[in-house]
């Protein structure tokens, strides 16, 4: 399980991250998310995606969030060799691409945690703190790291980048529909 919290980027936070953590990698990530043919992932709070980055191609299932404060959830990853073949397999099974998330991610190591500074296309910048664990027992540690960076629990954003992009698209579509009436 990934125990994770996301926060809006605030000026000076990356300097604080560099003071306590070590840069592991900076990379570009391109994710394609899919809709399930038989159930509504927005209702079940699940996701399936294919990610391409410098480390390869990964097919990922994300289960429903397991608590009210964080983005913590089960995550199952599978390395694949070919992005387009993985995409075609999902599409042949009835999955439909619904959105893409493109970002530049700086990953910092801090003990057993990682701190990501993300610049997401069409959304802006965010900070994510994540610890891989068997259960939510490390949640307090995630929030302690957040405190070191100047964040409080209340600053946490539970929506995934996919959810934020779909919300933005929905607002844009609504405003365009309203203007045409």
Q: List, by residue number, the catalytic residues.
A: 33
In degrees to the nearest 10, what's the CA dihedral of 18, 23, 29, 34?
-80
The 3-state DSSP class for residue 63 equals: strand
d(CA 177, CA 181): 7
Name which of 132, 125, 155, 133 is nearest 143 in CA terms.
155
User: Mutual orientation of helices 13-20 and 139-148 as an angle, nearest 10°?
Assistant: 120
Rounded to whole angstroms, how far apart are CA atoms 160 and 165?
9
Angle at 105 between CA 75 and CA 117, to 5 degrees: 95
In the block, residue with structure tokens 């910048």: 125
């Amino acid at each position: 399980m990934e125990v994770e919290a996301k926060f809006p980027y605030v000026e000076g936070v990356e300097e604080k991250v560099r003071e306590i953590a070590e840069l592991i990698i900076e990379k570009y990530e391109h994710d394609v998310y899919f809709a399930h043919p038989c159930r509504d992932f927005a209702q079940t709070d699940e996701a399936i995606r294919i990610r391409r980055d410098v480390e390869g191609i990964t097919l990922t299932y994300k289960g429903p969030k397991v608590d009210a404060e964080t983005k913590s959830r089960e995550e199952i990853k599978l390395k694949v060799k070919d992005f387009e073949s993985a995409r075609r397999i999902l599409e042949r099974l009835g999955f439909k691409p619904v959105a893409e998330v493109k970002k530049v991610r700086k990953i910092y190591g801090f003990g057993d945690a990682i701190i990501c500074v993300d610049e997401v296309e069409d959304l802006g910048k965010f900070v994510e703190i994540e610890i891989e664990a068997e259960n939510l027992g490390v949640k307090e540690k995630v929030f302690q790291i957040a405190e070191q960076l100047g964040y409080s629990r209340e600053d946490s954003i539970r929506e995934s980048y996919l959810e934020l992009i779909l919300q933005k698209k929905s607002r844009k579509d609504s405003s365009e529909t309203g203007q045409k009436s």
